Amino acid sequence: MLHSLGRRILLGFVLLIFLPIVAALFIPLLFKYLKGIHTGWFVLFVPIALFIYYAGFITTTMDGGHKVSELQWIPSLGISFVSYIDGLSLLFTLLITGIGALVVLYSIFYLDKDREKLNNFYIYLLIFMSAMLGVVQSDNVISLYLFWELTSISSFLLIGYWNTRDRSRFGALKSMMITVFGGLMMLGGFVLLGIMGDSFSIRELIANSSSFIGHEFFTLALILVLLGAFTKSAQFPFYIWLPDAMEAPTPVSAYLHSATMVKAGLYLVARFTPIFAVSEVWIWLVTGIGLLTLFWGSLFAVKQTDLKAILAFSTVSQLGLIMSLLGASAVAYHSDDAIFKFAAFAAIFHLINHATFKGSLFMIAGIIDHETGTRDIRKLGGLMSIMPVSFTVAFIGSMSMAGLPPFNGFLSKEMFFQSMLALRNFELFNFATWGILFPVIAWVASVFTFIYSFYFVFKTFTGRNKVDKLPKKPHEAPVGMLVAPVILATLVVGIFFIPNLVGKWLVKPAVMAIQPGLYSHPSEVDVHVAAWHDFASPELWMTIALVGLGVVLYLTMTKWRKLYDIQPHYLSLNVLYDSMMMLSENGMNRLSRFYMTGLIRTYLMYMFAFIASITTATLFLKNAFIVDMDSFTAVSVYGIMTAIILVAAVVMVILAKTRLAAIIALGAVGYSVSLFFVIFKAPDLALTQLVIETVSVALFLLAFQRLPALKTHGETKRNRLGNAIIAAAVGITVTLVALSAHSQKMIPSISQYYKDTVATEAGGGNIVNVILVDYRGFDTLFEIAVLAVAGIGVLAMIRLQLARKEAKDENK
């Protein structure tokens, strides 16, 4: 598939994706032999070097260009590692490496070098970094999936870093189950896309996307890819793993669960917008689920009492906000209204802003935990004077999160309102009737966002001083720990003042990747971010109103927060998840206990019943049951007599009360079979059957002497009736198959050849014997082998028993 384009192998910066993994190989050595230095210092070089290197690509993407580097992996299947860097992937790459560097710096002071298993931590972190770079840079969907699952695995390892704690293991498993479920669905979507577009390359898929519309797989592929994005980006109802992932060390929460990994789903949606945006299902799902998540997350963030849980729900909510904006940006494919192009800009802009303020807030939550020993907001308070720097950073981050000036969150919130207000008037796919809901939900969610932002910062840092009751005596964090959050907070304020520069460098090239058909150069993205519109703009009044209501609600919080108790415990999504897990585990247990009884009889009954029913059903459903009386030979008197004897002997075998009677009856069956061989002109068979039957009977007699008497072992009538029914079914099936098989001979027997050539070719007269030793001598060779093995087996079974008995005797 890839060869058709005649691409040549462009090795180059694609190898940089693997740089962190290669660096991880050295971590155990550094950790073991350089005990004196915190391992994190060595790790720090990797993201810094990558950040500086990738920053050099900005000039390319600003001009709407891109760079490609390829490493063939499985060319015959069209699978390769392709690093494709355009505005969108560069933006994510810079977030991953930039925040990665800050998080590593922070972790150096957060994790104690003597008490923690730093080698594990940094190996996982570096694997994660590689995986994330791979996700955002891959042009090949299969390698994208590979890296996607690698982020799930490394995230699993990082959440379970303190693996002696139950909650850590539970959180790690939960996130693994949900994200890997989504990942597998996504793989299905990718395969369907590959079938539709005959390529695994995202660029080629985008180029061919016009032919996908109306394809039978299109909507299915869309939903499967979205499942992957929604589970990874913690959208409703899959967000439940994120709050439990807060058991991870705080640097991990800051890095994976706010700034990078949870945005992989957003990246996926943005990346595939050019393919799927033509579908109304896409717009409905992305916008609708995004808004629902925004609302739900902000609502429940207010309920939390743990600092990191507040931030987790806040992350869920903000991811929903970005998701809904991405959904709105897809409308640009249906409408010329400039506002929907604007939505893509707003989404990317808020994505950057969220990474800055949420990263810093997580780090502050970690500092508070580190310095006071608790993250419970009910035990905290009045830390402002003790931890002034942390307070400043937390204040900046929270106010940005709440959407107040002069912080970058304000700008993106205004743009968000503007986009949602535009959806109100949009009349595509019957949006008109529902449209008013969009700005209303968005506004209410923003009020709650405002409340929990205030709640987070003021309940922690102001109010009554409870310092005496804290587990540790609090003091300001060490300088090293504060560097990273301070840098992020500086960015929060900085972006507010230079939004258009950020827009030009990072956002507009990314927007061009989301809406490639609409622009030929990033500068055509006609958005100018302004902090001030005028008094007539509705979003300004929406902001003023939300601040007013937010302040009132925040001050009266203790009164109405009891409303959360209305929701009964058993009606939560976590309980649903837990019971689903329990149900599948217990259900599977019960199912296998039900059909795996451990009894041979049960399994034989399954087999016989299936053989009989499937064969008979096939016979009649395919109209294969035909009896051709003309093909039958005449009935002989001897035949009838022998048959009567045989059937009588068979009945005797079943009815026999003693061992001896059963053996004799079985012998009678054998001898009548050899009589049949005589009647049917098979002298060699008759001879062999006679001898073998005699030997067998002797053998039976020998063995039976050492075996117990025939007993029914108290078999119930019901058991025997069941056996009889299945036995009758099998017998009848065999008869029916035999009759119809004999009646429908398709080709003549090969035996004519044997008859013709036995004398000339083999020089023999007995055709059966010549077949056995000449024409088909191999059968005979291995039948001899079977006899030999059986003989050795018999010998071994008897001998080994003796050997063990002797050993037992010696022990005595």
Partner 1 sequence: MELLMAIVIGILFMAAVYLILSRSLLKIILGTGLLSHGAHLLILTMGGLGGTSPPVLADGVTDYADPLPQALILTAIVISFGVTAFILVLAYRTYAEHKTDDMNLMRGDDEHD
**Per CB under 8 A, which of residues 625..684 are in contact with partner 1?**
627, 629, 631-636, 639-640, 643, 646-647, 650-651, 653-654, 659, 662, 666, 669-670, 673, 676-677, 680-684
DSSP state for residue 374 in the 8-state scheme:
-
**Is the dihedral angle over the CA atoms 738, 742, 745, 749 positive or is it negative?**
positive
What is the closest distance, in whole angstroms, from the C-beta atom of residue 701 to partner 1 in the complex? 11
378, 710, 757, 806: residue in contact with partner 1 (rule CB under 8 A): 710
What is the closest distance, in whole angstroms, from the C-beta atom of residue 602 to partner 1 in the complex? 9
Q: In the complex with partner 1, which residue's Cβ is closer, 254 or 771?
A: 771
Binding mask 580-619 for partner 1 (x = CB under 8 A): -----------------xxxxx--xx--x-----------
List binders of partner 1 among 484-523 (CB under 8 A).
Answer: none
Binding mask 323-342 for partner 1 (x = CB under 8 A): --------------------
8, 115, 559, 713: residue in contact with partner 1 (rule CB under 8 A): 713
What is the closest distance, in whole angstroms, from the C-beta atom of residue 579 to partner 1 in the complex? 25
- Judge contact between 732 and 738, C-beta under 8 A: no
The DSSP string of 535-596 is TT-HHHHHHHHHHHHHHHHHHTHHHHGGGGGGS-GGGSHHHHHHHHHHHHHHHHHHHHHHH-
Q: In the complex with partner 1, which residue's Cβ is closer, 497 or 680?
A: 680
DSSP state for residue 498 in the 8-state scheme:
S
Q: In whole angstroms, give the CA distance from residue 301 to residue 297.
A: 6
Q: In the complex with partner 1, which residue's Cβ is closer, 526 or 715?
A: 715
Residue 708 touching partner 1 (CB under 8 A): yes
Count Cβ atoms within 10 A of the Cβ of residue 344 and give its class: 0-12 exposed, 13-18 middle, 19 or more buried: buried
- Judge contact between 394 and 358, C-beta under 8 A: no
What is the closest distance, in whole angstroms, from the C-beta atom of residue 693 to partner 1 in the complex? 9
What is the closest distance, in whole angstroms, from the C-beta atom of residue 604 to partner 1 in the complex? 6
What is the closest distance, in whole angstroms, from the C-beta atom of residue 574 to partner 1 in the complex? 31
What is the closest distance, in whole angstroms, from the C-beta atom of residue 705 to partner 1 in the complex? 9
Where is 241: in which H helix or E strand?
helix 241-244
- Judge contact between 502 and 349, C-beta under 8 A: yes
Q: In whole angstroms, give the CA distance from residue 500 to residue 206.
A: 29
What is the closest distance, in whole angstroms, from the C-beta atom of residue 804 to partner 1 in the complex? 10
State the residue for tokens 């500092």.
367
Report angle CA 291, 297, 300 to the nearest 5 degrees.
140
Q: In the complex with partner 1, which residue's Cβ is closer, 10 or 767?
A: 767
List binders of partner 1 among 145-164 (CB under 8 A).
Answer: none
- Judge contact between 514 and 274, C-beta under 8 A: yes
The DSSP string of 430-469 is THHHHTTHHHHHHHHHHHHHHHHHHHHHHHHHSSS--GGG
Q: In the complex with partner 1, which residue's Cβ is closer, 581 or 781?
A: 781
List binders of partner 1 among 729-788 (CB under 8 A).
Answer: 730-732, 734-735, 738-739, 741-742, 749-751, 754-755, 758-759, 764-768, 771-772, 776, 779-780, 783, 786-787
- Judge contact between 40 and 123, C-beta under 8 A: no
Q: Tokens in use for 74?
A: 């499985």
What is the closest distance, in whole angstroms, from the C-beta atom of residue 580 to partner 1 in the complex? 25
Q: In the complex with partner 1, which residue's Cβ is closer, 180 or 682?
A: 682
Q: Tokens in use for 717?
A: 């009538």
List binders of partner 1 among 198-217 (CB under 8 A).
Answer: none
Quick one: how far is CA 632 from the chain centroid? Answer: 61
What is the closest distance, in whole angstroms, from the C-beta atom of residue 733 to partner 1 in the complex? 8
Q: Tell which residue, 735, 720, 744, has the closest CA to residue 655.
A: 720
Q: Which residues, 6 or more positions from 97, have their beta carbon under 8 angstroms from its beta carbon?
A: 47, 48, 50, 51, 54, 129, 133
Binding residues with partner 1: total (CB under 8 A): 100
Q: Tokens in use for 540?
A: 């300004």
Q: In the complex with partner 1, which residue's Cβ is closer, 518 or 624?
A: 624
What is the closest distance, in whole angstroms, from the C-beta atom of residue 806 to partner 1 in the complex? 15
List binders of partner 1 among 254-313 (CB under 8 A).
Answer: none
Count of CA atoms in the C-beta half-sphere (13 A) of 26:
11
Q: In the complex with partner 1, which residue's Cβ is closer, 9 or 728?
A: 728
545, 692, 799, 806: residue in contact with partner 1 (rule CB under 8 A): 692
What are the CA-CA distances from residue 647 to residues 363, 449, 583, 644 (Å)? 87, 87, 52, 5
List binders of partner 1 among 406-445 (CB under 8 A).
Answer: none
Q: In the complex with partner 1, which residue's Cβ is closer, 55 or 624?
A: 624
What is the closest distance, in whole angstroms, from the C-beta atom of residue 736 to partner 1 in the complex? 8
List binders of partner 1 among 16-45 (CB under 8 A).
Answer: none
